[in-house]
Structure 1
Amino acid sequence: MNSRPKYKAHCIRGIIVAMGLSLSAGVAATEGGGSIYPMGAENFGVGALPPAGVYPLLYASSYSADQLNDANGDPLPLDFKLRAKVIAPRLLWVTEQQVLGGQLFSALLLPLVDLDVNVNGLQQRKRGLGDIDLTLGVAYHHSPHLHTAFSIDVFAPTGRYDHNELANIGRNYWTLQPVYAASYMDPNGINADIKLMYDYNFENPDTDYQSGQEFHFDYAIGYSLTSDWIVGIGGYGYKQLTDDERNGMTIANNRGQAFAIGPSVKYDNGKGFSVNLKYQHELAVENRPEGSAFWIKAVLPL
């Protein structure tokens, strides 16, 4: 009869682990209540890589949630507040090397996190480097309008972690993520982008806990007002596909899901500088906080 209160306590403590491990601070029902990927980080042009060269990128996000939902999507009776701000520089290197008919590229992302959590009067704030993301992939330019990319992302457990803490900015395990991204770009019409991802999470050696496998996607749909400006909507979809396990035992009724949508705009000066702005609100949320995020993504020419 005491299993459910213990389960809730585990979720509450764990909710925050993922906040700093990614850019967004979105949380789901894996260990620590979160996903290692920053849900909704990408926007217009995600599948269209630039010509060969080195490109600095900058992501910034502000996420807030005042509600934690159960497996039925209903809010739990908790005084819950979550605030997370993230700045994440990323270095992208697009090479001249051809692999499998496409252009080889790699990237490194370093998330810097400011995380503040309050649950029933218990409060904790953490700042620091989260879990870094390493990318290796191949990009294709099928036509002036259609572009795609395949990659493998590896998330390394570089962020600080203590399983006894309320807030952590690292997950303490590795994640392997295959990625497919596609962009349809028309400077005089419709633009459509999607980034599909599948996460395989390895076991946390400190807790003998293995988070379930996750499928999620970022999306954007818009219209080019001019050659410089695109306006539309964007967000993400998320579904945990397999159960978590601890000490080889399945944890039932713990799979997360969410969908987010909101306005999105992109400016591109045609000379290497571009900036995406997006606001997204989460809907249909289960086993995770329900909140909103504001995103900025900028490409900064050297």
Structure 2
Amino acid sequence: MNNTSAAGGIRRLGPYAVAGLFGLTAAVTPCAALADEGGVSFWLPGNFGSLAATPGVPGWSWATLYIHSDVAAGAGQQFPRGGRVDVGIAGRADLVVFGPTYTFATPFLGGQASVSLFGISGRSEGSAALSLTGPLGNTIGINRTQDLTSYGDVIPQVSLKWNQGVHNFMVYGTGDIPVGDYDPSRLANLGLGHGAIDGGAGYTYFNPQTGNEFSAVAGLTYNFKNTSTQYQNGMDFHVDWGASHFFTKQLQLGVAGYYFQQVTDDFGAPASLGGFRARIAGIGPQIGFLFPVGDMDGYVNVKAYKEFAAEHRPEGWNAWLTFALSPKAPEATAPKPLQRKY
């Protein structure tokens, strides 16, 4: 692939580079206060956003995300969890995701590499209208509600990006280290209870001259077995996308959306539930703002999604607030005129 240098791509983007650095955020644990078997995946749809594949600024940066989610499933829908079947589940969560990213200045395979490590904390609330006795002998419960304020799993992440004029390309890999607060007998958890790996590729079209941008990133998740329940989620396919326009060098407005589809069956679900393949889609508005913070560049982004087309998964809405700091992006410079030699 022929591409411009990483430094040249950053200078071309100028102040937009900090926004591109955080188009990809951490894949976080259950936003709906439900264990993975409860219909919520390791991958939280909406993680990728606008400018996801554009290069970042070399050096250390920091991102903090606040995520609020409110979802529910129909009264008759059944979800396996911890050896039992929950009916009529609902969940609410307020999560904070935080961590550093280091972006390398030296090109790797002709692109720009970065590594991240994210932690999670917050409050999770889950409820079920009815919990039926499962094969592990769990007690039947009616109108159960539980909440938990604690810490979640650790999420490492790597990415590699290439720039070629207005076209940007990326590959990424991430995963779940299951060290978060998890108990299979609870309705509310901040840990998954199992590991996972996820990888994929993305594309961003961005023209700084017009301010128009479109991004799409697709990935695939492999879930390891939950040894506490002997349950293993199937593989998940997901696409996140965003489209926006920079009305000024600071103000960005647009829309964002996602589609999530489980592509292989779960192992361990009750026979009556079949393969229990999940599906969800969402769409909503976004607004971003770039500003200086001392000798750093700051970026704030707010986006919200209304969900639809749910299958074997609760649906509702979620909102994201991102605050990011990175080294100041170099300004684009005009080419020097040729000097005549006498």
Question: Are the aligned partners of 1:208 and 1:247 in contact in 2 as well (CA < 8 Å)?
Answer: no
Question: Are the aligned partners of 1:153 and 1:179 in contact in 2 as well (CA < 8 Å)?
Answer: no
What is the count of residue pairs matched by the alignment?
277
Matched, 1:108 2:117: yes
What aligned pairs does 1:145-160 form with structure 2 within 5 A after superposition? Answer: 145-160=166-181
Structure-2 change in CA distance of 1:128 and 1:256 (3 Å): same
1:70 and 1:196 mapped to 2: Cα distance? 32
Match of 1:295 in 2: 320
1:80 and 1:112 mapped to 2: Cα distance? 22
2:31 to 10, 16, 25: 25
2:98 and 2:178 mapped to 1: Cα distance? 18
Superposed CA deviations along residues 44-63 of structure 1, whole A, max 9, x for unmatched, are 22112312101001111111
Give the 3-state SS of the residue equivalent to 1:34 in structure 2.
coil
Question: Are the aligned partners of 1:277 and 1:296 in contact in 2 as well (CA < 8 Å)?
Answer: yes
2:239 and 2:31 mapped to 1: Cα distance? 16
> What CA RMSD, in Å, does the superposition of the two structures yield over aligned residues?
2.8
Question: Are the aligned partners of 1:67 and 1:290 in contact in 2 as well (CA < 8 Å)?
Answer: yes
1:29 and 1:116 mapped to 2: Cα distance? 11
The alpha carbon displacement at 1:80 in A equals 4.6
Match of 2:311 in 1: 286
What aligned pairs does 1:125-140 form with structure 2 within 5 A after superposition? Answer: 125-140=147-162
1:268 and 1:25 mapped to 2: Cα distance? 27
Match of 1:51 in 2: 57
Structure-2 change in CA distance of 1:291 and 1:83 (3 Å): same
What aligned pairs does 1:1-302 form with structure 2 within 5 A after superposition? Answer: 22=28, 25-26=31-32, 31-68=37-74, 80-120=89-129, 121-143=143-165, 145-187=166-208, 188-246=210-268, 252-269=274-291, 272-301=297-326
Amino acid at match of 1:33: G
Unaligned runs of 5+ in 1: 1-20, 72-76
2:50 and 2:75 mapped to 1: Cα distance? 30
2:147 and 2:159 mapped to 1: Cα distance? 36
Name segments (4+ residues, structure 1) moved above 4 Å.
Answer: 26-30, 77-80, 247-251
2:184 and 2:29 mapped to 1: Cα distance? 21
TM-score, structure 1 as length reference: 0.83
Give the 3-state SS of the residue equivalent to 2:117 in structure 1.
strand
Superposed CA deviations along residues 152-205 of structure 1, whole A, max 9, x for unmatched, are 112110112221122221112111111213222223242101221110111111
Amino acid at match of 1:102: G
TM-score, structure 2 as length reference: 0.74
